[in-house]
Amino acid sequence: MKRRSFIKGMAAAGASALIPAGTVGAVLTACKPSGPAASATSGGFDDIVDRAGTWSIKYGRATDGEIPMWIADMDFKTDPFVSAALRKRLDRDVLGYTSTPDTFFDAIAAWEESVHGYKADREWIGYAPGVITAINQAYLTFTEPGDKIIVQPPVYDHFRLYIERLGRVAVDNPLIFEDGRYRMDLEGLERIIDDKTKALVLCNPHNPCGILWDRETLEALAAICERHGIIVISDEIHGDLALYGRRHTPFCSVSDAAARIGMIFAGPTKAFNLAGLSGTAYCIIPDKDKREKYLATLRNAKLNEPSIMTLEAVIAAYREDRTWLDSLKDYIEGNISRVESFFAENNLGFKPIHPQASFLVWLDCRGLGLPQDKLMDLFLSKAKVIPSDGSSYGPGGEGFVRLNVGCPASILDEALSRIRTTITAASLL
Ligand SMILES: Cc1ncc(COP(=O)(O)O)c(C=O)c1O
């Protein structure tokens, strides 16, 4: 989808009965800082970035003037320091076979220690060819076809997708949702584990529910899994986006048991918006036997060779100066406040679940009383806003959508306004 036609499409939608004429164009062309998010404009996060001709997956779905708020890809440009490092490297015009320098591992070790408080030995760290690709290789290394792997829905859909594609069986240990908060069902976990259960995939922080798991929960999880001989594959790709001054807790750091049975997959992909480089990731596996076995799998599949751009991007992102990342987090917090104030002020039947990390808001839409297909139709064809469908995250996702608020505040405001106009027009309440 071309960015210009997206904007024109938005204008067209604005001329429809749903959006008062002129609103969209005015919002997008003015693109003025306003409200709580406006205080943190140093990163250029208010700017509307033209994605025309960039083969954007996110905007590729917005063919009819919709606002795309689905895939976990922010509308923002990456950190200029990262782009400058890539540009500088390209200026050399040398793109030959490249080894992985120590500075790559050193940057990751220093980041884990200073940002997450985790002192991981340099030798525990390996390159990972993208978090999901690397997790899939863990399934192949540590489980056999027909083995069971536990997921904790509602959770990132690609866990289940590849467990099934690789001939393993996904077993659900759903999160418990009580009084507007999620927690892990540790008793349920004990009940479902059997001889065929070999692994658990942990989403830490949790996507889509935005949970920063606390040390006590992770410790208890590690103890249960070790007792039953299960490994824990911890996806920590959203960890660098812990919000509100809180810290992300790396799974392997919580106890000796966690270090023995755990493996971390992480990277600057989400925080620095690097998904298109397709491989800005790493693993941390403290246990020597597991690490050697896993790294051999990567080597045998020739998945152990990062591209030059991946190396440059990770090293540049994981530098000491956190100014850009801090202002991004301020901006995201501002956008989350916008969403929360909007739904508090407008009684439309939606309840956002307050995220502790990342730019994804899990929106409880059950107050509307609609089946999932009607709910999605309301967003897609009426409001012209594309959220992620809550039901795609497995049990517990029905009646919810996930809204990506990693976008300029002006676009977010337009999306919220479209939702309000649609609900009011549909007289659902
Ligand atoms: C929890 C989680 N893990 C992994 C990924 C994808 O990671 P990668 O692109 O490195 O495979 C995403 C992307 O949205 C995600 O939300």
Domain boundaries, the chain: 82-317
Instruction: Please tell me if the CB atom of residue 132 comes closer than 6 angstroms to any atom of ligand 1.
Output: yes
Instruction: Please tell me if the CB atom of residue 235 comes closer than 6 angstroms to any atom of ligand 1.
Output: yes
Give me ligand 1 centre to Cα 239, in Å.
11
SS3 391: helix
Instruction: Please report, to the nearest 10 degrees, the dihedral formed by the alpha carbons of residues 413, 416, 422, 427 taken in order.
Output: -130
Q: Mean pLDDT over residues 194-222, rounded?
A: 98
Q: What is the pLDDT at residue 428?
A: 55
Judge whether residue 7 has pLDDT over 50.
no
Instruction: Please tell me if the CB atom of residue 207 comes closer than 6 angstroms to any atom of ligand 1.
Output: yes
Model confidence band, residue 101 (pLDDT cutoffs 50, 70, 90):
very high
How many Cα atoms sit within 13 Å of 41 on the Cβ side?
14
Burial 35-56 (b: 16+ CB within 10 A, else e): ebbeebbebebbebeebeeeeb
**353 φ/ψ angles, rounded to the nearest 5 degrees:** -90, 125
Nearest CA to ligand 1 atom 7: 131
Model confidence band, residue 386 (pLDDT cutoffs 50, 70, 90):
very high
The preferred substitution site among 156, 233, 263 for testing ligand 1, maximizing ligand atoms within 8 Å of CB, is 156
Q: What's the mean pLDDT when you consider all of the chain?
A: 91
Q: What angle do CA 388, 394, 396 make, to 5 degrees?
A: 95
Q: CA 217: distance to chain centroid?
A: 21
pLDDT digits (tens, 9 = 90+) for 144-195: 999 999 999 999 999 999 999 999 999 999 999 999 999 999 999 999 999 9
Looking at per-residue pLDDT, the higher value among 30 and 252 belongs to 252
* Packing angle of the helix pair 102-116, 308-317 (nearest 10 deg): 30
Give me ligand 1 centre to Cα 131, in Å.
6
172, β-bridge pairs:
151
According to CATH, what is the number of the domain 82-317? 3.40.640.10
Instruction: Please tell me if the CB atom of residue 201 comes closer than 6 angstroms to any atom of ligand 1.
Output: no
The pTM is what? 0.91
Judge whether residue 12 has pLDDT over 90.
no
Instruction: Please tell me if the CB atom of residue 212 comes closer than 6 angstroms to any atom of ligand 1.
Output: no
pLDDT digits (tens, 9 = 90+) for 305-362: 999 999 999 999 999 999 999 999 999 999 999 999 999 999 999 999 999 999 999 9
Tell which atom from ligand 1 comes closest to the C-alpha of 279.
10
Neighbouring residues of 188: CB distance < 8 A, sequence distance ≥ 6: 173, 174, 176
Give me ligand 1 centre to Cα 60, in Å.
19
Judge whether residue 113 has pLDDT over 90.
yes
